[in-house]
Structure 1
Amino acid sequence: MTMTIDTLDHDGSFSAYVARPEGQPKAAIIVIQEVFGINAGIRGKCDALATAGYLAIAPDLFWRTAPGIELDPDVPEQMQRGLDLFGTFDQDLGIADIEATIRAARAEIGGGKVGAVGYCLGGRLAFMTATRTDVDASVGYYGVGIDGLLGEKHAIAKPVLLHVPVEDHFVDKDAQARMHAGLDDHPKVTLYDYPGEDHGFATEIGSRRSPASAELADGRTAAFFAEHLG
């Protein structure tokens, strides 16, 4: 199902995919999209979280430029369309929309804890959510350009988990080294490397998925949220 969320300054509204658990949610988790929109893979992530007992909400962060778009990364033209959308995406507005979604999620669950998990673009935004909002726990899968955001790490007050595929063709080895150098000693941040894996290895569907590593990463994410969202 979907819900409508007002922007922080109430100058617009956007839709979000919502998956609800049976019974009272133990917490809420914001699922932050890749550059491919709220497609079947992101909806699947939400549905899995709902099965685990969470209220899961995936806001349509491309609503200003390509509302409702769904792309398949296995189709080259659609992959390129996603990359093009990333190039024109206003990340500050995206974080504001994520913050609006966090507030909506807290209202839905009566003020309980809210986590965030993101993939690709969403992995980067999950890190930014940790530095710029009051989210209770954040997980980023193959976030791009996090090494360029290390100046914000002092603002991380709640736990952060980052999954880093070692052969990520969007995040080279030097960038990964900068991430480790900047974050390994941070008391709130944990990084896991996945040797031999490329960008998108934990996607729910499609050719990029690497099942064994995806299950390992998702198990770590589940344990992380169980510990920090309660």
Structure 2
Amino acid sequence: MTNTEIPTLDGKGLIPAYVARPEGTPRGAIIVQQEIFGVDAGIRQKADGWAAKGYLAVAPDTFWRQKPGVELSPYDEGEFKQAIDYMMGHDFDLGIRDLEAVIHWIRRDQDVAKVGLVGFCMGGRIAYMVAARTDIDASVGYYGVMIDQMLNEKHAIARPLMLHIPTADHFVDTAAQKAIHDGLDDHARVTLWDYEGLDHGFAAEIGARRDEAGAALADGRTEAFFAEHIG
């Protein structure tokens, strides 16, 4: 497990990233896309878990252009507000370009052909955007926000995408969930799973948000999805 820096597409910047490597040749690569709280202990734990399953795991620092190394707590009111501010200040379009750079680095520099991405919260939205805007091989989003406002991009999704939707998500209301289902249920490349009564953050590795049964079910589906589409 190491920290590295990945060149941006224009070569003018370096994206900090946490990298967890498997023993032996990787079966594929998984980009672990952070929540609004940074590449924190929970995200690093998820990356380590994918490495233990045989994947090269890369967790890039999404907010590096604002402030590198952000790590904040969802349980501290002040830090939660800071995290929201970082999200509001994030250029999502440029962020997708940064993820393109990470995909290229994995394929070209690390010699791993198949790349997936799994994202959480803000990262769930990013998983959807990556599926629509890049040539990533497969993507998974957990409790993604604002996807209902981006359904005009669904025609561009050419590779498999899975979304985990907790029905009691206090950031994604019932109307938004309905819009996501109405827009994507019949999409040949998209799989949607609902988690009745669960809230945002149910698959967090650390803290009170986690629901063990829900996390185990969703993570098992994610692992099978990546085994099928990444290797």
Cα deviation code 1:203-222 (max 9, x no counterpart): 00011111110010000000
CA distance in 2, matches of 1:111, 1:190: 25
Q: Which moved more, 1:19-28 or 1:77-86?
A: 77-86
Cα deviation code 1:17-76 (max 9, x no counterpart): 000001100000111110001000100010000000000001101001121011111222
**SS of 1:115 mapped into structure 2:** strand
Match of 1:89 in 2: 90
CA distance in 2, matches of 1:74, 1:53: 32
Match of 1:190 in 2: 191
Q: Which moved more, 1:81-90 or 1:106-115?
A: 106-115
Q: Determine whether 1:102 maps to 2:106.
A: no
**SS of 1:117 mapped into structure 2:** strand
Match of 1:32 in 2: 33
TM-score (norm 1): 0.98
CA distance in 2, matches of 1:169, 1:135: 29
Cα deviation code 1:55-112 (max 9, x no counterpart): 0001101001121011111222111111111111100111011110111111244241
Deviation at 1:156, TM superposition (A): 0.5
Partner AA of 1:105 in structure 2: I
CA distance in 2, matches of 1:40, 1:220: 23
Cα deviation code 1:141-193 (max 9, x no counterpart): 00100011110000001000000000111100000000000000000000000
CA distance in 1, matches of 2:162, 2:115: 15
- Do the aligned partners of 1:28 and 1:109 also contact (CA within 8 Å) in 2? no
- Do the aligned partners of 1:142 and 1:168 also contact (CA within 8 Å) in 2? yes
Gaps of 5+ in 2: none
Partner AA of 2:189 in structure 1: K
Q: Determine whether 1:128 maps to 2:97.
A: no
Match of 1:225 in 2: 226
CA distance in 1, matches of 2:27, 2:160: 18
**SS of 1:41 mapped into structure 2:** helix
**SS of 1:190 mapped into structure 2:** strand
Partner AA of 1:145 in structure 2: M
Calculate the aligned-residue CA RMSD, in Å: 0.8
Equivalences for 1:1-150 in 2 at 5 Å? 1-150=2-151
TM-score (norm 2): 0.98
Match of 2:155 in 1: 154
Gaps of 5+ in 1: none
CA distance in 2, matches of 1:179, 1:64: 31
CA distance in 1, matches of 2:87, 2:220: 28
Cα deviation code 1:3-24 (max 9, x no counterpart): 1111111121121000000110
Q: Which runs of 4+ in 1 moved over 3 A?
A: none
CA distance in 2, matches of 1:108, 1:73: 35
